[in-house]
């Protein structure tokens, strides 16, 4: 039976072809040696020359991935490389997939909740364990000892760079994929990793007290941007600090809406974002594991918008809690702020309901619910908020609840730990409030869409299978309908894997962007007209 | 309530069912002996290659059918009694119908080769063929070598499937160049080279003489007719085209030839019995089209048409401009309008051919020798827009217009290299020297 065959992937050593070549085995051995050095450090092996072993470890991980990718892709002609994806244990929820998922999840739990096991010390004494292994690199960059976040950031960057290289070889016939990958590699290395470390150098001067700031990480993904320590940090760092804070605000209200209007949310989610960057590189082998069921889509929409509402209320409450009451000392008081937020949300709500009501259809109701919940929260805030407490609870509690449940558990533990089980975009699809905002705009007000090519679709399902966001692309393609979905991150893989050249990512006119057909191009012209007429 | 029974749950039958449901409240039953749910036949290859699981080839989730009140029945129809409007099923069950749509598709051709029914000899059409292949060629240890007979679209797909599991393949092609009964020479030869670059042992102008059995009735080798060479192999793929799957109809009153004969309304000689898709044979030619078109798109279009007729808007099957597509290993192919091979080319049809130096991209534009009218285009390795060519064909644009406006038709992903200038220069050069 064919179906029993597919389930064989639960076995570790699959007897069938798709065995790894000798070179690939050597490459994997090198990579695992690199990881093994990290594991030894984790268990407090005291390396004589930390710098050497750190570079050895990272170097071996790079080398292993590069050699593996070279042998896997450069030995073959250019083209789609999805052979045996559903047979390999790692990429078909087999034993290796589950082990990887459990190890990753465990890593995130330790990282977020038990950093002492990574060697973080609290009493000011020097680091031990794996964190101490990264001390030399951290001193080199920022002049400070490493933290668990530095270790994580380094490994994260290594993963995006190494697997980004692999991805670029896999799609070496596809310049869209290559440019997009080069872009996420650049933004991770420069913006997320190096620049914040260099900014920390500035803090050696007493004139600066800059918070860690990844310039490309925009609120609400960057939910701590408006924390009081962050704001105070910016405000106490001269013109540079103020400029950075203004840039953060301008990113939210000007840059991001403008770029999303021009290019869709892909400009961020699959070209710039760090979460997207990891998903598109290290996470690529798991993209087909996302659920395409209609039920998953329903869960997605409830969940991601709930997180968005939570994040808006939380941020408002946090900012509220450190604003003053006296308009004479500073114009932005608690009340001005609350009214400002309320007005802004009301304007957005009114504009959408006025102009886009028909496009929203049934969703208009849910949008209205979300709006009224948020406004209600603002009103409650007005009556219960003090500088100490919001909603009658300590404002810090609300903020830490968000950080714990959304920032750590959802985006880290589930979002990345579950790559091999639920696919590589779990966080981006079900949780990211930034994706929700960009998606809302993409659906309502953007030139971006995926167009379909007349009647050429053969309903094969490659597009849907390889959509990491779980969009049933085929459902649109086989009707000749443009794909305008808020969740689409514009990775372009559906278009790449389509064997009939049916899909194309485009930025075009807003007019006629959303279409739908009953009968496709190719049939009787009169019949098409008759039936497609609504 | 009128009961519409559809035999066959492929693209034609299912399209008909869906559109009848959209237009009416009739009772609809779809019978299939192949699979419970509709799947995309063209995607079967990707299951063997590990790109997808079977469930991914199903365009609709399983709840869809109940929700839309389309009854699915897993059964094999043994015979049709058109006098009493009854189907006899293999389970001895019977099923009454008011209107019957035959949409049973095709089956692989077998030309009476000795040994064609041996164990390990298979076509590649049905879900069962795939299961058979999985059993006989799970990997390159069980199946060290495969021979494919017949150089068409299914043959080259089977070659790609097998090579995805590192199984070596000898590909016997009757023609002097791959698919050159359809493709012009330049394209056909480019594909020859691409096949060989994938390490397929391509044997052109080679026919199958016989398939030799081992002591257990399983295929052991094949003999090539032209050379008498015996090639050892573990499986043989017979992919020399398909033929309508209508044996069970032959005993009925429904008139058949190669396929079920239908008029332009897709009606058979028996009232209330219709045939659509691969199994239908047009009594009357439609333009340049063949009387039997075993193509996904035409099946779909006939399904769209028949639904109208059954729901009170009796119309003829009147397809628009011809189009088709395929993929040869890594090279995508699209065609719009008519571009004939040298063998079948009418006198008036001239070709302009351009090929990229990397040998994976080329186009051929067919135009009228006298009027210069645009007749059609084949494109390999460059995606082009269906809608644009459909419009140009309707508007009867000429060759000059097409070649100068090719940019408008491009459908390649963003940032891809563009070749319109090179093509234009090459065309101008060719026109000047002619």
CATH code at position B257: 3.50.50.60
- What is the model's pLDDT at position B123? 95
User: What is residue A212's DSSP assignment?
Assistant: P
On whether both B103 and B247 belong to a single domain, the answer is: yes
- What is the model's pLDDT at position A12? 44
User: What is residue A409's DSSP assignment?
Assistant: I
Query: Within 13 Å, how many C-alpha atoms sit on residue A135's CB side?
Result: 19
CA distance A52 to chain B (A): 41
Please, which residues 325-354 of chain A have a Cβ atom closer than 8 Å to chain B? none
Query: Hey, of A9, A498, A499, which one would you mutate to test binding to chain B, going by the most B CBs within 10 A of its CB?
Result: A499
Q: Total structural domains in chain B?
A: 3
CA distance A18 to chain B (A): 7
Q: What is the mean pLDDT of chain A?
A: 89
Strand ranges in B59-203 using DSSP code E only, listed in sequence order: 70-74, 77-81, 86-89, 94-96, 99-102, 106-108, 121-122, 145-149, 168-172, 201-203
Say if B367 falls within a structural domain: yes
On whether both B165 and B86 belong to a single domain, the answer is: no
Provide the 10 A C-beta neighbour count for residue B418: 13
Say if B315 falls within a structural domain: no
ipTM score of complex: 0.95
Query: Taking CB atoms and an 8 Å cutoff, what residues of chain B touch A474?
Result: 59
Asked if pLDDT for residue A17 goes beyond 80, the answer is no
Strands B235-238 and B121-122: parallel
Q: Which of B54, B141, B383 faces A501 most closely, judged by CB atoms?
A: B383
B32 strand-pairing partners: B74
Q: How far apart are CA A278 and CA A129, in angstroms?
A: 25
Question: Do the Cβ atoms of A524 and B416 come within 8 Å?
Answer: no
CA distances from A136 to A53, A143, B102, B157 (A): 10, 9, 75, 55
Say if B112 falls within a structural domain: no
Query: Taking CB atoms and an 8 Å cutoff, what residues of chain A touch B296?
Result: 458
Q: Picking from A102-111, A202-211, A410-419, B34-43, which range would have the lowest pLDDT averaged per residue?
A: A202-211
Please, which residues 13-52 of chain A have a Cβ atom closer than 8 Å to chain B? 15-18
Say if B409 falls within a structural domain: yes
Please, which residues 51-80 of chain A have a Cβ atom closer than 8 Å to chain B? 77-80
Which of B240, B274, B291 is the last residue before a domain boundary? Answer: B240
On whether both B163 and B235 belong to a single domain, the answer is: yes
Say if B116 falls within a structural domain: no
Q: How far apart are CA B20 and CA B40, in angstroms?
A: 20
Mean of the pLDDT values across residues A250-267? 96
- What is the model's pLDDT at position A9? 42
pLDDT band for position A18 (50/70/90)? low
- Domain around B361: 323-433
On whether both B232 and B250 belong to a single domain, the answer is: no
**Is the CB of A527 inside 8 Å of chain B's CB atoms?**
yes
CA A281 to chain centre: 11
Which range has the top average pLDDT, A131-135, A383-387, B45-49? B45-49
On whether both B302 and B327 belong to a single domain, the answer is: no
Chain B residue with minimum CA distance to A82: B51
Query: Taking CB atoms and an 8 Å cutoff, what residues of chain B touch A87?
Result: 50
On whether both B364 and B397 belong to a single domain, the answer is: yes
User: What is residue A214's DSSP assignment?
Assistant: -
Say if B283 falls within a structural domain: yes
Question: Do the Cβ atoms of B304 and A16 come within 8 Å?
Answer: no
| CB-based contact B296:B312 (threshold 8 Å) | no
User: What is residue A72's DSSP assignment?
Assistant: I
Question: Do the Cβ atoms of A518 and B22 come within 8 Å?
Answer: yes
Query: Taking CB atoms and an 8 Å cutoff, what residues of chain A touch B42?
Result: 458-460
On whether both B155 and B221 belong to a single domain, the answer is: yes
| CB-based contact B129:B123 (threshold 8 Å) | yes
On whether both B26 and B99 belong to a single domain, the answer is: yes
Q: How far apart are CA B236 and CA B244, in angstroms?
A: 22
For the stretch A460-489, pLDDT in tens is 999 999 999 999 999 999 999 999 999 999
What b-and-e string marks burial along B132-143, b requiring 16 or more CB atoms within 10 Å of the CB? Answer: bbbbbbbbbeeb
- What is the model's pLDDT at position B399? 95
Phi, psi (rounded to 5 degrees) for B163: -70, -20
- What is the model's pLDDT at position A177? 98
CA distances from A30 to A168, B118, B340 (A): 21, 48, 55
Q: Which of B40, B320, B385 faces A461 most closely, judged by CB atoms?
A: B40
Strands B374-380 and B362-368: antiparallel
For the stretch A19-42, pLDDT in tens is 789 999 999 999 999 999 999 998
Which of B221, B240, B259 is the last residue before a domain boundary? Answer: B240
Asked if pLDDT for residue A8 goes beyond 50, the answer is no
B29 strand-pairing partners: B5, B71
Write the burial class of residue A236 (CB in 10 Å: 0-12 exposed, 13-18 middle, 19+ buried): middle
- What is the model's pLDDT at position B434? 61
How many contacts, defined by CB atoms under 8 Å, are there between A and B? 191
Which one is predicted more confidently, A304 or A523? A304
Which one is predicted more confidently, A356 or A305? A305
Q: Which of A86, A495, A519 faces B53 most closely, judged by CB atoms?
A: A86
- What is the model's pLDDT at position B89? 96
| Sequential pLDDT tens for chain B (434 residues) | 899 999 999 999 999 999 999 999 999 999 999 999 999 999 999 999 999 999 999 999 999 999 999 999 999 999 999 999 999 999 899 999 999 999 999 999 999 999 999 999 999 999 999 999 999 999 999 999 999 999 899 999 999 999 999 999 999 999 999 999 999 999 999 999 999 999 999 999 999 999 999 999 999 999 999 999 999 999 999 999 999 999 999 999 999 999 999 999 999 999 999 999 999 999 998 998 999 999 999 999 999 999 999 999 999 999 999 999 999 999 999 999 999 999 999 999 999 999 999 999 999 999 999 999 999 999 999 999 999 999 999 999 999 999 999 999 999 999 999 999 999 999 999 888 66
CA distance B316 to chain A (A): 9
Q: Picking from A258-267, A387-396, B217-226, which range would have the lowest pLDDT averaged per residue?
A: A387-396
For the stretch A52-103, pLDDT in tens is 999 999 999 999 999 999 999 999 999 999 999 999 999 999 999 999 999 9
On whether both B296 and B331 belong to a single domain, the answer is: no
Q: Which of B139, B318, B413 faces A16 most closely, judged by CB atoms?
A: B139
Query: Within 13 Å, how many C-alpha atoms sit on residue A101's CB side?
Result: 23
- What is the model's pLDDT at position A229? 87
Which one is predicted more confidently, B230 or A380? B230
Question: Do the Cβ atoms of B56 and A453 come within 8 Å?
Answer: no
Say if B422 falls within a structural domain: yes
Q: Which of A461, A500, A524 faces B57 most closely, judged by CB atoms?
A: A461
| CB-based contact B295:A462 (threshold 8 Å) | no
What b-and-e string marks burial along A500-513, b requiring 16 or more CB atoms within 10 Å of the CB? Answer: bbbbbbbeeeeeeb
Q: Which of A77, A460, A518 faces B57 most closely, judged by CB atoms?
A: A460
User: What is residue A328's DSSP assignment?
Assistant: T
Question: Do the Cβ atoms of B43 and A462 come within 8 Å?
Answer: yes
For the stretch A360-376, pLDDT in tens is 777 778 888 888 888 88
Q: Is the sign of the CA dihedral B325, B259, B239, B53 positive or negative?
A: positive
On whether both B265 and B177 belong to a single domain, the answer is: no
Question: Do the Cβ atoms of B301 and A523 come within 8 Å?
Answer: yes
On whether both B282 and B219 belong to a single domain, the answer is: no
CA distance B84 to chain A (A): 33
Domains and CATH numbers, chain A: 19-82+114-202 (no CATH), 206-446 (no CATH), 447-532 (3.30.70)
Nearest one of A527, A520, A525, A436 to A485, comparing CA atoms: A436
Please, which residues 461-480 of chain A have a Cβ atom closer than 8 Å to chain B? 461-462, 464-465, 474-475, 478
Asked if pLDDT for residue A377 goes beyond 90, the answer is no
Query: Taking CB atoms and an 8 Å cutoff, what residues of chain B touch A2?
Result: 47, 54, 127, 130-131, 134
Query: Hey, of B300, B318, B321, B331, which one would you mutate to test binding to chain A, going by the most A CBs within 10 A of its CB?
Result: B300
pTM for this model (two decimals): 0.94
**Is the CB of A174 inside 8 Å of chain B's CB atoms?**
yes
- What is the model's pLDDT at position A7? 45
Q: How far apart are CA A358 and CA A344, in angstroms?
A: 22
What percent of chain A shows pLDDT beyond 90?
58
Q: Which of B326, B386, B394 faces A454 most closely, judged by CB atoms?
A: B386
Strands B219-224 and B94-96: unpaired
Q: How far apart are CA B86 and CA B89, in angstroms?
A: 10
On whether both B343 and B273 belong to a single domain, the answer is: no
pLDDT band for position A2 (50/70/90)? very low
Q: Picking from A136-140, A317-321, B63-67, B235-239, which range would have the lowest pLDDT averaged per residue?
A: A317-321
Say if B87 falls within a structural domain: yes
For the stretch B194-237, pLDDT in tens is 999 999 999 999 999 999 999 999 999 999 999 999 999 999 99
Nearest one of A214, A278, A205, A282 to A248, comparing CA atoms: A214
């Amino acid at each position: 039976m064919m179906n029993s065959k597919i389930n064989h992937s639960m076995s570790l050593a699959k007897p069938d072809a798709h065995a790894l070549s000798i070179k690939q085995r050597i490459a994997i051995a090198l990579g695992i040696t690199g990881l093994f050095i990290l594991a030894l450090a984790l268990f407090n092996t005291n390396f004589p020359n930390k710098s050497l072993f750190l570079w050895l470890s990272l170097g071996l991980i790079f080398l292993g991935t590069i050699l593996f990718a070279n042998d896997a892709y450069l030995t073959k002609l250019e083209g789609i490389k999805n052979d045996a994806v559903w047979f390999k244990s790692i990429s078909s929820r087999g034993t290796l997939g589950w082990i990887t998922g459990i190890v990753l999840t465990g890593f995130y739990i330790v990282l977020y909740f038990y950093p002492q096991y990574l060697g973080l010390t609290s009493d000011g004494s020097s680091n031990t364990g794996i964190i101490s292994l990264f001390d030399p690199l951290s001193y080199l960059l920022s002049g400070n000892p490493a933290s668990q976040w530095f270790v994580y950031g380094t490994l994260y960057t290594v993963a995006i760079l190494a697997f980004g290289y692999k991805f670029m070889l896999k799609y070496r016939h596809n310049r869209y994929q290559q440019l997009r990958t080069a872009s996420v590699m650049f933004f991770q290395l420069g913006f997320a990793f190096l620049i914040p470390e260099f900014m920390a150098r500035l803090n050696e001067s007493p004139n600066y007290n800059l918070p860690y700031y990844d310039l490309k990480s925009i609120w609400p993904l960057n939910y701590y941007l408006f924390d009081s320590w962050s704001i105070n940090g910016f405000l106490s760092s001269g013109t540079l600090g103020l400029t950075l804070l203004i840039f953060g605000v301008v990113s939210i209200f000007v840059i991001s809406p403008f770029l999303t209007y021009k290019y869709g949310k892909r400009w961020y989610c699959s070209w710039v974002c760090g979460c997207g960057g990891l998903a598109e590189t290290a996470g690529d082998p798991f993209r087909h594991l996302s659920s395409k069921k209609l039920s998953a889509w329903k869960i997605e929409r409830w969940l991601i918008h709930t997180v968005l509402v939570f994040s808006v209320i939380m941020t408002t409450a946090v900012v509220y809690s450190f604003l003053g009451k006296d308009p004479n000392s500073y114009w932005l008081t608690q009340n001005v702020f609350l009214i400002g937020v309320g007005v802004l949300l009301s304007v957005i709500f009114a504009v959408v309901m006025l102009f886009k009501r028909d496009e929203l259809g049934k969703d208009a109701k849910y949008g209205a619910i979300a709006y009224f919940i948020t406004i209600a929260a603002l009103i409650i805030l007005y009556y219960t908020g003090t500088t100490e407490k919001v909603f009658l609870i300590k404002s810090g509690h609300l903020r830490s609840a968000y950080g714990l449940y959304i920032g750590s558990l959802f985006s880290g533990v589930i979002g990345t730990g579950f790559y091999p089980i639920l696919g590589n975009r779990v966080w981006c699809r079900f949780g990211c409030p930034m994706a929700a905002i960009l998606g809302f705009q993409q659906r309502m007000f953007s030139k971006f869409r995926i167009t379909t090519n007349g009647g050429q679709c053969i309903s094969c399902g490659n597009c849907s299978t390889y959509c990491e966001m779980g969009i049933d692309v085929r459902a649109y393609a086989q009707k000749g309908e443009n794909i305008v979905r808020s969740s689409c991150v514009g990775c372009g893989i559906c278009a790449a894997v389509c064997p009939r050249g049916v899909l194309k990512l485009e930025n075009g006119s807003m007019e006629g962007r959303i279409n739908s057909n009953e009968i496709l191009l190719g049939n009787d012209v009169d019949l098409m007209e008759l039936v497609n007429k609504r | 309530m009128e009961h519409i029974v559809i035999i066959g749950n492929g693209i034609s039958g299912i399209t008909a069912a869906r559109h009848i449901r959209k237009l009416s409240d009739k009772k609809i039953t779809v019978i299939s002996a192949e699979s419970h749910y509709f799947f995309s036949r063209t995607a079967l290859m990707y299951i063997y290659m590990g790109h997808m699981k079977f469930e991914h080839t199903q365009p609709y989730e399983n709840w869809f059918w109940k929700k839309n009140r389309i009854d699915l029945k897993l059964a094999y129809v043994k015979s049709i009694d058109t006098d009493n409007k009854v189907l006899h099923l293999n389970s001895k069950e019977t099923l009454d119908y008011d209107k019957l749509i035959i949409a049973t598709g095709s089956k692989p051709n077998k030309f009476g080769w000795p040994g064609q029914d041996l164990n390990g000899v298979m076509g590649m059409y049905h879900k069962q063929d795939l299961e058979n292949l999985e059993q006989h060629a799970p990997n390159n240890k069980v199946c060290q070598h495969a021979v494919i007979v017949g150089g068409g679209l299914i043959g080259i797909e089977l070659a790609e499937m097998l090579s995805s599991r590192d199984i070596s393949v000898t590909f016997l092609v009757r023609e002097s160049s791959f698919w050159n009964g359809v493709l012009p020479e330049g394209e056909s030869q480019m594909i020859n080279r691409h096949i060989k670059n994938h390490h397929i042992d391509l044997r052109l102008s080679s026919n199958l003489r016989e398939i030799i059995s081992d002591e257990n009735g399983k295929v052991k080798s094949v003999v090539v007719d032209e050379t008498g060479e015996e090639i050892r192999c573990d499986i043989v793929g017979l992919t020399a085209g398909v033929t309508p799957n209508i044996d069970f109809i032959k005993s009925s009153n429904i008139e058949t030839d190669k396929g079920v004969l239908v008029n332009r309304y897709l009606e058979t000689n028996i009232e209330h019995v219709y045939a659509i898709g691969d199994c239908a044979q047009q009594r009357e030619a439609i333009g340049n089209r063949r009387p039997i078109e075993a193509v996904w798109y035409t099946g779909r279009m006939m399904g769209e048409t028949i639904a109208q007729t059954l729901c009170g808007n009796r119309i003829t099957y009147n397809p628009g401009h011809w189009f088709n597509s395929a993929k040869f290993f890594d090279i995508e192919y699209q065609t719009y309008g008519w571009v004939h091979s040298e063998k079948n080319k009418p006198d008036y049809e001239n070709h302009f051919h351009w090929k990229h130096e990397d040998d994976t991209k080329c186009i051929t534009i067919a135009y009228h020798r006298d009027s210069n009218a645009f007749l059609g285009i084949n494109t390999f390795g460059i995606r082009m827009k269906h809608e644009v060519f459909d419009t140009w064909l309707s508007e009867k644009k000429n060759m000059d217009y097409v070649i100068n406006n090719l940019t408008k038709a491009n459908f390649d992903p963003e940032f891809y290299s563009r070749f319109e200038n090179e093509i234009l220069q090459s065309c101008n050069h060719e026109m000047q020297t002619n």
